[in-house]
Each structure stands twice: as C-alpha cells, then as structure tokens.
C-alpha cells in the first residue's frame, strides 16, 4: 500500500509539472503540488517505522490474521 501511495503522490507532482499552462489559470496546481509533497513527507515518516521491530510484528500479525493472510501482499 505504501508503494501505491508513493506512486500516486509522485504521479500528481509529475503531472502538475508537465502542464505549465495550468499554473497560469489558477494557483490550485501549486497548492495541490505542495499538499502532495507534505503527504509524501508524512508517508515517509511512517514508512521508516516499518523497518524496525514494529514493522516485523505488523507483518507477522497480518500473515497470521485469518481474514488477510498473504492477500495484502499480492500485487
């Protein structure tokens, strides 16, 4: 899920940079770009926590949960 969210936020940023004519029409592209950057920073903060013991325990708990098993790790 983290990868999908990172990809989505990166896609927003790239799409807004590729269309400079939108920037002349209004200021919303800049606001959206800034929000995507802040979202990516917040996501990075929590993603970094998945690498320690808590991340390991979360993954083990997810696999052992009978409602999810390995389905959350399928692409």
Domain count within the chain: 1
- Dump pLDDT digits (tens) for 6-61: 999 999 888 877 666 555 556 777 888 899 999 999 999 888 877 777 778 888 88
b/e sequence 26-39, b meaning 16+ C-beta within 10 Å = eeebeeebeebeee
pTM above 0.75? no
Expressed as residue numbers, the domain containing 61 is 2-73
Using one digit for the tens of pLDDT, what is the confidence trace for 51-71? 777 778 888 888 898 888 888
How far apart are alpha carbons 62 and 65 in whole angstroms? Answer: 5
CB atoms within 10 A of CB 25: 9
């Amino acid at each position: 899920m983290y990868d999908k969210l990172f990809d989505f936020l990166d896609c927003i940023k790239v799409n807004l940079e590729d269309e400079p004519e939108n920037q002349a029409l209004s200021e919303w592209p800049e606001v959206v770009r800034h929000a995507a950057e802040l979202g990516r920073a917040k996501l990075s903060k929590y993603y970094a926590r998945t690498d320690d013991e808590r991340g390991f325990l979360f993954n083990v708990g997810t696999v052992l949960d009978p409602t999810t098993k390995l389905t959350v790790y399928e692409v």
